[in-house]
Amino acid sequence: MRGKNNMLNEPIVTKRMGFEDSYTLERYLATGGYEGLRKALSMTREQVKEEVNKASLLGRGGAGFPAGRKWSMLRQAPTSYLVINGDESEPATFKDHLLVERDPHQLIEGTMIAAYALGVSQAFIFTRGEFALGIERLTAACNEAYEYNAVGKNIFGSDFSVDLVIHPGAGAYICGEETSLIESLEGNRGFPRIKPPFFPAVTGLYGEPTVVNNVETMSNLPWIVLNGGDAFAALGQGSSAGTRLFALSGRVNRPGWYELEMSKTTFRDLIYDKDLGGGIIGDKKIKAFIPGGVSAPWFFEEHLDMGLDQDAVAKAGSMLGSGSVVVMDETTCVVRASWRITRFFHRESCGQCTPCREGSGWLEKIMRRIEEGSGRPEDLDLLMDVCDSIAPGVTWPPQQTTICVLGPSIPSSIASAIRHLRDEFLEHIKLGHCPYEKDHILTGAAR
Amino acid sequence: MTDTVHTQNQAEEEERDNTVNIVIDGVAIKANEGELLIEAAERNGIFIPRFCYHPHMEPVGMCRMCLVEVSGPRGFALQPACYLKVQENMEVMASSDKAKRAQEGVLELLLINHPLDCPVCDKGGECPLQDQTMSYGPGESRFIEEKRHFDKPIELGPLTYLDRERCIQCARCTRFAAEVAGEPQIDFAGRGDMTMVATSPTRPFDSYFSGNTVQICPVGALTAKAYRFKSRPWDLEQAETTCTLCSVGCREVAQSSAGELVRYLGVDNLTLNQSWLCDKGRYSFEAVKNGRVLTPLARHEGVLEEVRWADALADITAGIRAGLAKGGGDQIAVLGGAKFTNEDNYMWARLAKGVFGSELVDAQLGDGFNAELALALPRAGIEETVNARTVVLIAGDLKEELPVLYLRLYQNLAKGKTKLIEISPTHTSLSDLAKIKLSPRPGELFSITEDIFDVTKNSVGSLKDESVISSIRQFLDVREETSADDGEGIVFVVGNANLAEAPIYLEESLKLIAAKLPKAKFLPALRRGNIFGALDMGLGPNLLPGRINKDRGDFFRRTWGTLPASPGIGTPEILAKCAAGEVSVLVLLGADPLSDFVDQALVQKAFENTPFIISLASHMDPSATSADVVLPVPYMGETAGTVTNLEGRVSVLGQKVTPPALARQPWLIAADIARLLEEDFGLYTLEEVSQEIADTVSLYRGVSLASLKRFGGDGVFVPVKAAKVKIASSTKSIFDPIAVPGIASVEEQGAPIKTGSAKPIALQDGNTKDSSAEALAKGDARLISLADVTSATRHAGGLDVIAEPKSDKYSLRLILQRDLYDAGSTLVNCPTLASLGGVQEILLAPSAASGFGLQNGSPVNVTGRGQMIEAQVKIDKSLSPGLAVLKVNKSKANDIFSADVSDGIASGRAELLVDASALVTDIRLETKHDKKKELG
């Protein structure tokens, strides 16, 4: 994975990425590792929480909920848990992958700081099962951390003890949804839980209050504790504080990860700056881009000058989500692109709620049919209507007929494509193949 | 008869203080706090469509059919009514455009992969998917793609097929299995639109309750082997009735097509079976057609031949006259009655005791315990039991003996609504949920009971762990200073857990418990169908109709003319008299001791030495085959009358199909015999018999067929304490899917709609003769109490024999139990159930098995009492060494229809090893010569 952070004076979560042995305890300690935890242990729990609050650290999992507020919602109970969500499974999203694989100690240190602040004695890191190398390194790091006494009994001689379990998932995108993740962790089928209760912080793992935080969120904590919440909040702008790790992919010259100060950088910078995306391959025109993972509605040329800012993106009708930006150039087939995204959701729908279970399949079958040359003009309205059955109104943020948000994520790509590039859809249907596909083998329209 | 005191609405108003005001579709509604929106709406007549919602299971919100618009902080939003709880001032739009659009969308999506093979689907015509599509769905489908395909149907278990294409993933069946039955044998596999219900690869869906999943499936995905393609719903006729296969007495509807019984469905009532049935009860309708006695038969020159009723009755009358002439009532024994109705049993009790003057009368077949004691113990109902502070199980495995009682108890134990102490010799289906589990060895129960209640005793008798006894004492509040309130909130479920052990240990324990815990209640787990009705009608030793001890029988002596002089004895002693040649006539009231009595050597001798045996039988069972006269009687589904369950709930049997042409109801046979003996009872119709019971049996005062049909619902509890009684359950369910348009079929069975508190009604009217009141006033019809219980006669030494008998070191002490699928007449005559019988297995402790060099599945010979049977070894870690467990009525062969059926059953029969007069039974093992091993 190629990436960059030298736009920043001091990278926060990617500072060790330049080292080949970034994942070892040796390198971690040589680069200031576990100093944040030591400092946190010298502070009171309230002081640590206060720093995180001051940092206005937004959750990096996709919903962007302030981490400090999430922590404050934790119901007081004799037993509570901390669960780290590392089930990053969405196409084109690979920031947590990087952090787990290349800097596992930073994740563990952040987790320990959060565990201390929350007063929990049992933490879990739920990682995507397909992170083979990541799981190997994270497990090794966990063992090293136990030996180093950064995890376990009486951490660094304090009276704070916490156990950490690394739990590889079994290969389901849905387990990135926090209640589904909790079900899976309990050993059940990964079905999202019905709400209410709305928050695991009230009723979570084994029915006890549970904080579920993202890998990147945790990885920020050592820096925040060492440098103070104010220093973090000084980066970025407004509610979008600090830096964020973006995963850039698609038709750009330099795909990869980029740690960038939030708000201050625009999508145009990310895609076109020679030190970042380096522009579109072959200097083609941009057709569309996805600003925050395949669940997010698409953006188009007119959005390029928008900053990488959570509120601004939300206001424009999409989301910064998981921080993955996918670029489509003028030759990208929107039918094919949205079919591929829909196919992903079809395969990953957990099967619980009817609209998502059946709707995803229906949408994919129609999209496949159009892509394969058997589309009908009326399919466009049908597609929008099926989308409407899953997410009434097909708006963003969505209304939903389902238990979790996987359902209303399905229409994003189809609705974006049809609403903004309807003519291209119709052309595809008329030709029976993609207008940009030069050496197509399908002849004419089937209907 | 009149409704009195309350209207249902008034009663509801009074009981409701935590009301919440909500508005649905502009109508202001009072809901109960914490109530689900879908239920609040339904109680007020607003039906919100649904598939996955079921009133007796936790909501999952999977189908999304119940989406309605609900007001919230950010305006109206779509919310599922099935798991949303009502809140004060909640505003709901259940039929707004947006709600309708959502419902229509869900239905369209449900149908895209549904095969729409309604014309060949069992569910077609009573299908919630069909019905709701008509009411809420889009007119046409816009789906032109290829539907999802699966192999169909697949066998989910021995009784159930699954069509995965029809499945709409509502999780009703999987939730039933996990939540209600406590057997998560089925769950979802796969994901997305390929999500399917599946079993574990190593175990089929062989739950005793699998049929319930078919009943609650909202589509035709789950179908029953026994019903598949038998009928269409619109061809079904039905009658509400009570299952009489065990004493729980589940309410059900019997459905017939073209005069043939084709299906039973459970009726939803809140306090009894809540719409659930066990598979044995559900599929027993098949027995109506197989193996029946069709005409009266009489033995001429050693062969049973068809005879006319008149000739059969003349033979019988002659036999009885001869017996009476020889030695009075003591020459005539009457066994059985548990398969018959209260009316049948009342008439036979009157005939046996009032005409024959016989006290050789017992409806139990030696597998329960002292009938007087069972009736005298303060009785608990099922609802009271499953909600008790503490339940103490001193019985066998309820799942095997009283399946639906297990179901009710399991759910409340799993939810923590009650606590269980289990004192049972083996590991039962409830053991894992017990707070305390004690496994007394055969012969040890009474000493354990003494240990528990003798607080002053320093050392605990036979138990090593004194702390167990002290924690039981804590649960039961046993202290040194006793009070009259001791035992409040505790229910003992009591039955004979070991058929190879004399019941005296249990009986003496129960007397001690009842004396020490005056407020404790008991649910006697006598197993047989209408056993409580039979005993209540007087078909038990020393009993008269209405749970009255014979010593207080002046009323019946006057009205019946005579009562027996001799003391009553139970079936084992009666059969011993028969075996000794001291009985001239043995009448079997649906009883089949040749396959249903624990000491087979004794029964065989009794049959050999009794000159005249009369069998009233529905099926040609082994005892009927050996009888001298066989009289055909109706079977379940063909009978009208009333029955009484283990709670004392009296309910009405609905007769759905006509019995074989020549079958006569047992009460009618009793009336005929009485008339032929010149003792005409003057009762010529079922209603007259029923009215006589209501008039003369104080316990059943006012409880007649007529009053029950009018007010009975799911039954009325006896004793009726006042002229006004509470109806057991006021839930009335609608069953005919055709009669009620829309979503009327299975949904209606599931939903406890419009239930109110029990409504007091008057069961008496001015015209009743009410001679029982007169009897009561004189005090000679007092209900039996513990002080009246005749002490056990079998072991006259009393408490001296209550120590555990010693065994020698080469023997194993036998625990003999019954399982649901024994090779009784139900299994033998129901083709679908027949293969479930299973072979005789002997359960051994691991150390005992290894001591003999035996493994799981090893064949072994079991000897005792000079007899030898064959069994397969099954190692049971929960069993202590020195013990062995066998089952009654098991065949050696796996298939009871195989060629060597009689041989197979005979050579696996553990009943050959038991001496009914012994306190405990010891057996020995002989390992079989293993040729394979030798060769290897």
Q: Do B195 and A359 touch (CB under 8 A)?
A: no
- Check residue A33 and give its pLDDT: 96
- Check residue B270 and give its pLDDT: 82
Lowest mean per-residue pLDDT among B331-335, B770-774, B831-835: B770-774
DSSP letter string, A236-277:
EETTEESEEEEEEEESBSS-EEEEEETTTSBHHHHHH-TTTT
B67 touches chain A (CB under 8 A): yes
Pure H helices in A149-187: 178-185
Whether residue A447 is predicted with pLDDT greater than 80 in this model: the reply is no
Which site among B64, B79, B108 would you substitute to test the A interface, given the most A Cβ atoms closer than 10 Å to its Cβ?
B64
Q: Do A357 and B193 touch (CB under 8 A)?
A: yes
Are the beta carbons of B361 and B541 closer than 8 angstroms? yes
pLDDT tens track for A152-164 = 999 999 999 999 9
Provide φ and ψ at B710, rounded to 5°: -85, -40
Whether residue B764 is predicted with pLDDT greater than 70 in this model: the reply is no
Residues of chain B with Cβ-Cβ distance to A369 below 8 Å are: 145
Whether residue B793 is predicted with pLDDT greater than 50 in this model: the reply is no
CATH 1.20.1440.230 residue spans of chain A: 334-431
CATH 3.10.20.600 residue spans of chain A: 236-329
Q: Do A369 and B113 touch (CB under 8 A)?
A: no
The Cα B107–Cα B113 span in angstroms is: 11
User: From B113, which residue of chain A is nearest by alpha-carbon distance?
Assistant: A358
Q: Do A389 and B105 touch (CB under 8 A)?
A: yes
Q: Which pLDDT band holds residue B902 (cuts at 50, 70, 90)? A: very low
Which site among B58, B62, B74, B196 would you substitute to test the A interface, given the most A Cβ atoms closer than 10 Å to its Cβ?
B62
Residues 6+ apart with CB under 8 A from A273: none
Of B60, B145, B195, the CB nearest to A365: B145
- Check residue A345 and give its pLDDT: 97
- Check residue B568 and give its pLDDT: 92
The C-alpha of A229 sits at a distance from chain B's nearest C-alpha, in angstroms, of 33
Q: Which pLDDT band holds residue B756 (cuts at 50, 70, 90)? A: very low
Residues of chain A with Cβ-Cβ distance to B67 below 8 Å are: 401
Q: Do A194 and B78 touch (CB under 8 A)?
A: no
Q: Tokens 């948000």 appear where?
A: A405
Lowest mean per-residue pLDDT among A407-421, A431-445, B646-660: A431-445
Sign of the Cα torsion A170, A172, A178, A180 reads negative
Q: Do B145 and A402 touch (CB under 8 A)?
A: no
pLDDT tens track for B135-193 = 898 888 999 999 999 999 999 999 999 999 999 999 999 999 999 999 999 999 999 99
Q: Do A352 and B62 touch (CB under 8 A)?
A: yes
Q: What pTM was computed for the model?
A: 0.92
Three-state SS for B659? coil
Three-state SS for B182? coil
Residues 6+ apart with CB under 8 A from A83: A123, A124, A125, A126, A178, A181, A182, A185, A200, A204, A205, A210, A211, A212, A213
**Which fold would CATH assign to domain A236-329?**
Ubiquitin-like (UB roll) (3.10.20)
ipTM: 0.94
The C-alpha of A261 sits at a distance from chain B's nearest C-alpha, in angstroms, of 33
pLDDT tens track for A342-373 = 999 999 999 999 999 999 999 999 999 999 99
Which residue, B892, B894, B895, B914, is CA-closest to B905? B892
Are the beta carbons of B613 and B597 closer than 8 angstroms? no
Are the beta carbons of A349 and A356 closer than 8 angstroms? yes
B5 residue type, one letter? V
Residues of chain A with Cβ-Cβ distance to B143 below 8 Å are: 362
Which tokens sit at B602? 């004794």
User: From A386, which residue of chain B is nearest by alpha-carbon distance?
Assistant: B105
Whether residue B218 is predicted with pLDDT greater than 80 in this model: the reply is yes
Q: Which pLDDT band holds residue B458 (cuts at 50, 70, 90)? A: low
A194 touches chain B (CB under 8 A): yes
* Cis peptide bond N-terminal to A192, omega within 30: no
Are the beta carbons of A200 and A211 closer than 8 angstroms? yes
Q: Do B192 and A348 touch (CB under 8 A)?
A: yes
Of B78, B145, B194, the CB nearest to A401: B78
Sign of the Cα torsion B39, B41, B44, B45 reads negative
Of A174, A358, A400, the CB nearest to B109: A358
Which tokens sit at A209? 């209050």
Are the beta carbons of A290 and A296 closer than 8 angstroms? yes
Whether residue B760 is predicted with pLDDT greater than 50 in this model: the reply is no
A166-185 residues touching B, CB cutoff 8 A? 172, 174
User: From A366, which residue of chain B is nearest by alpha-carbon distance?
Assistant: B145
Which tokens sit at B430? 């409830």
- Check residue B464 and give its pLDDT: 54
Of A360, A385, A401, the CB nearest to B192: A360
User: From B69, which residue of chain A is nearest by alpha-carbon distance?
Assistant: A401
B112 touches chain A (CB under 8 A): yes
What value does the mean pLDDT take over residues B766-791? 59
Q: Do B110 and A402 touch (CB under 8 A)?
A: no
Residues of chain B with Cβ-Cβ distance to A362 below 8 Å are: 109, 112, 143, 145
Q: Do B77 and A401 touch (CB under 8 A)?
A: no
What value does the mean pLDDT take over residues B671-688? 95
Three-state SS for B421? strand
Which tokens sit at B512? 């001690």
Are the beta carbons of B30 and B46 closer than 8 angstroms? no
CB atoms within 10 A of CB B292: 20
Residues of chain B with Cβ-Cβ distance to A346 below 8 Å are: 192-193
Residues of chain A with Cβ-Cβ distance to B145 below 8 Å are: 362, 365-366, 369
Q: Do A401 and B64 touch (CB under 8 A)?
A: yes
**Which fold would CATH assign to domain A334-431?**
de novo design (two linked rop proteins) (1.20.1440)
Q: Do B191 and A349 touch (CB under 8 A)?
A: yes
Q: Do B78 and A400 touch (CB under 8 A)?
A: yes
CATH 3.40.50.11540 residue spans of chain A: 3-233
Residues of chain A with Cβ-Cβ distance to B188 below 8 Å are: 189, 351
Lowest mean per-residue pLDDT among A366-370, B201-205, B877-881, B904-908: B904-908
Q: Which pLDDT band holds residue B788 (cuts at 50, 70, 90)? A: confident
Q: Do B102 and A400 touch (CB under 8 A)?
A: no
Residues of chain A with Cβ-Cβ distance to B146 below 8 Å are: 365
Q: Tokens 């999992």 appear where?
A: A61
Q: How far is CA B308 from the centre of its chain?
A: 36
Three-state SS for B263? strand
B169 touches chain A (CB under 8 A): yes
pLDDT tens track for A272-288 = 999 999 999 999 999 99
What value does the mean pLDDT take over residues A319-326? 94
Which residue, B347, B322, B324, is CA-closest to B633? B347
Residues 6+ apart with CB under 8 A from B889: B595, B596, B818, B822, B823, B824, B905, B909, B911
Whether residue A405 is predicted with pLDDT greater than 70 in this model: the reply is yes
The C-alpha of A406 sits at a distance from chain B's nearest C-alpha, in angstroms, of 11
**Contacts of B451-457 spanning 24+ positions with Cβ under 8 A:** B452/B476, B452/B478, B453/B478, B453/B512, B453/B513, B453/B516, B455/B479, B455/B480, B456/B480
Q: Tokens 């708006």 appear where?
A: A395
Whether residue B741 is predicted with pLDDT greater than 70 in this model: the reply is no
Are the beta carbons of A191 and A183 closer than 8 angstroms? yes
Give the up-direction half-sphere exposure of residue B91: CA atoms within 13 A in the CB hemisphere: 9
Whether residue A383 is predicted with pLDDT greater than 60 in this model: the reply is yes
The C-alpha of B875 sits at a distance from chain A's nearest C-alpha, in angstroms, of 29
CB atoms within 10 A of CB A1: 13
Are the beta carbons of B114 and B219 closer than 8 angstroms? yes
The Cα A105–Cα B131 span in angstroms is: 59
A84-143 residues touching B, CB cutoff 8 A? none
What value does the mean pLDDT take over residues A421-444? 81
Lowest mean per-residue pLDDT among A219-228, B866-875, B895-904: B895-904
B404 touches chain A (CB under 8 A): no
CATH 3.40.50.670 applies to domain A3-233: no
Give the per-residue SS3 of B631-647.
EECCCCCCCCEEEECCC
Of A349, A354, A386, the CB nearest to B63: A354
Which residue, B765, B785, B816, is CA-closest to B918? B816
Q: Tokens 């993740």 appear where?
A: A181
Whether residue B8 is predicted with pLDDT greater than 80 in this model: the reply is no
Q: Do A348 and B191 touch (CB under 8 A)?
A: yes
